[in-house]
Amino acid sequence: MHVQAGVWRERLPDALCDELRLEYPRFSGATFAEERVLLQGRAFRALGRTLGSEEFLARAAELTGIEGLSHDPEFTGAGLRAARTGTLPGWRRDHQRRGWWPRVGVIVNLTPAWRDPFTDGALVALVVTDGVLPEALPLAGDGGSDGPCLAILAALYTREPPATEDLETGDGEHAGLVTRLPADFGREPARFDADLAALRALTDERGVELRAAFEREQRLAARFAQLAERPFRDLTAPLSNDERAQVRRVLDARQELLAQLKAQGAAYRDTERKLAVAPCPSVSGPVVVERCDGNWRDRWVTDRLQLTLRPSVPIERVRVRGFIPPEAAERQRLTATLGGLTHRASAPSGELTWDLPLAAKANDPFTIEIGAGYAWTPEERGAARRLAWLLLGIEVR
């Protein structure tokens, strides 16, 4: 969302601020919102006249560089906003003035002890937006003896939406970040730190770019909807073939985009399922591994292993096969939690075969958790690892 703030450099008259606070409705609960501003009293009607005055609108145009601004006297989608907590309700996107484009948000904060991102005390802040005003405003401070945060929001509109070329694309904002994963990504354990840094940087970069693209698409779609209303207002003749074709072309492109996003969502979910079990130990039997934590790729296990399995048939037993290394000797104690029951085993060094009873229904996932009483961190090349025992395999029957 492209939002920047300018500030009305003159405070509202102290007498008007005092009267607004006096007439402000009492409320219970954490937050308060009310669009019927002018009905609250004389001071609110005076404020409405101020926001709609030629002087105020000219000053707002000077600060924002946006000509043709008009105030909505009904405060549609805005109005009184109050909060006792750290978030002030903002503008309501589903309550916008039909046929007009919101270009500037106006915030009057009546409680100097509370600080929002745009105002300072009782100053009037102008929030320049590309059509999407914030739905919530974070607050700093606890109000002290002044009680809750009391504010008034309004919007200034233009008849025309911003031109397409005025909508920021965000291109070039992330030129210093990586653009693709290295060709040898994940092939050399010694490069773990560098590979992980590249993955995180690329994920963050693409996430920012995608969010910017989605917001730009939202703004373009809203502008299209505004402009597409024009030919429908002419009731003297039906739409021309060319006009209908133009509308269809835009809507078909949006439909194609939605289909691509749906396919991408399926790819996300499929990849998420696969990564949730990686690295996966050897598991045999009529089950699917849904999640695994605490297992290393070389079969070593940390001091806590968690494995979630989904069976396709009823299950009566889980057999754990492992190996207790000499480093643990007689000190190792394993505790398994499965099906609401706890099982304990003293494990001397050498091979381990552990049968755990279970009554699980088909398609009813269950989790086996094995904790180790003893673990150590060996001196290894690369990242330090917490090791307890070796997991050779799990058999489910």
Low pLDDT (below 70) residues in the chain? 1-10, 98-99, 120-122, 129-131, 142-146, 161-179, 346-348, 380-383
Question: How high is the pLDDT of residue 139?
Answer: 85
Q: What per-residue confidence (pLDDT) applies to 65? A: 83
Write out pLDDT tens, residues 231-245.
887 888 888 899 889
Tell me what pLDDT residue 10 has: 63
Residues of the chain with CATH 2.60.120.620: 3-160
- CATH 2.60.120.620 assigned to domain 3-160? The reply is yes
pLDDT tens per residue across span 300-349: 999 999 999 999 999 999 999 999 988 787 788 999 999 999 999 866 67
283-396: CATH topology is: Jelly Rolls (2.60.120)
3 state SS for the chain: CCEEEEEECCCCCHHHHHHHHHHCCCCCCCEEEECCCHHHCHHHHHHHHHHCCHHHHHHHHHHHCCCCCEECCCCCCCEEEEECCCEEECCCCCCCCCCCEEEEEEEEECCCCCECCCCCCCCEEEEEECCCCCCEEECECCCHHHCCEEEEEEEEEECCCCCHHHCCCCCCCCCCCCCCCCCCCCCCHHHHHHHHHHHHHHHHHHHHHHHHHHHHHHHHHHHHHHHHHHHHHCCCCCCCHHHHHHHHHHHHHHHHHHHHHHHHHHHHHHHHHHHHCCCCCCEECCEEEEEEEEECCCCEEEEEEEEEEEECCCEEEEEEEEEECCCCHHHCEEEEEECCEEEEEECCCEEEEEEEEEEECCCCCEEEEEEECCCECCCCCCCCCCECEEEEEEEEC
pLDDT at position 122 is: 60
